[in-house]
Amino acid sequence: MHFDHSMIYNHSMYDLIIIGSGPSGLTAAIYTTRANIKTLIIAGITWGGQLQLTTDVENFPGFPEGIQGPELMTQMRKQAERFGAEIIDANADPVDFTKQRDDGLFEVTANGTSYLGKTVLVATGADAKMLGVPGEKELTGRGVSYCATCDGAFFRNKHIIVVGGGDSAMEEAHFLTHFASKVTMIHRRDSFRASQIMIERVRSNPKIEIILNSQITRINGTQKVESVELQTLQSDGASSMQTMPIDGIFIAIGHTPNTKLFTGLTLREGGYVDQGFASSTNVPGVFVSGDVTDNRYRQAITAAGFGAQAALDIERYLAEQK
């Protein structure tokens, strides 16, 4: 494929368009801009990913006292901008990767403006599924969490709830017993859908109590989580309500990768983008990194690492196209 390099500095022409602005997309941009790859980030109206909803981050290397999630994202953004990344705080329109232009470029539109890129990095992340109950949004980061490995250490000797019934909920509950004095698992059905080995591990842990046929209907608290309203279905079909005092709630009912925008990318189970070799996808020139493809680790540091990998893969790809 031959590129006319006189076009590169056209205002809408880029070597790389990154869709997404969490740790993965911003780290990729830091790498690509330092390699003189002209990079555009379509960041979204609410830029910065899940860390914008996170208060204290204590496990990101380099911050011995910890750092607030939004502050960490602001620093990453400034670093990408310092090396020349262009950032647009707008949502990308849907992209159909089956319709590549005759010149081999990818067209991405945002806010009514079209941008052309030789390559695209999909780094749109994944959103934790929410319970959708009163108090949840207001108390997120104040006792409501969606990541045990991120926030477990803040709940030493506390009583916490884990909501969910799959393997990830079991893993979170088991992990949290390293910190909490007691973990109560709440599941809305009468049996778990997790694997038998995980169920047995949880049932045999003396710190874990299980409440089935129950769901949280409200989360109470002003500055932090104080209690939940719990609705339990009785065997006769009636339901009872109770208020349970609690220090924290970990919601582990799954994640939704942000892939609805894209047509033509191969997805695997759960809707995650299927990675080919390294960070490539089924569409040559389109790469992927971070939580939109990673359903296993889901950490800021791994997302950043995958962003660096993708940037190096993109740099190699562009060099080969020349």
Q: Catalytic residue positions?
A: 147, 150-151
Three-class SS state of 243: strand
Place of tokens 């250490």: 153
What is the spatial distance between Cα 128 and Cα 252, in angstroms, rounded to a whole number?
8
Contacts of 23 (CB under 8 A, 6+ apart): 49, 51, 73, 76, 290, 300, 301, 303, 304, 307
- The bridge status of strand 227-233 relative to strand 214-220 is antiparallel
b/e per residue, 121-143, with b = 16+ CB within 10 A? bbbbbbebeebeeebbeebbbeb
Query: How many other C-beta atoms lie within 10 A of the C-beta of residue 10?
Result: 10
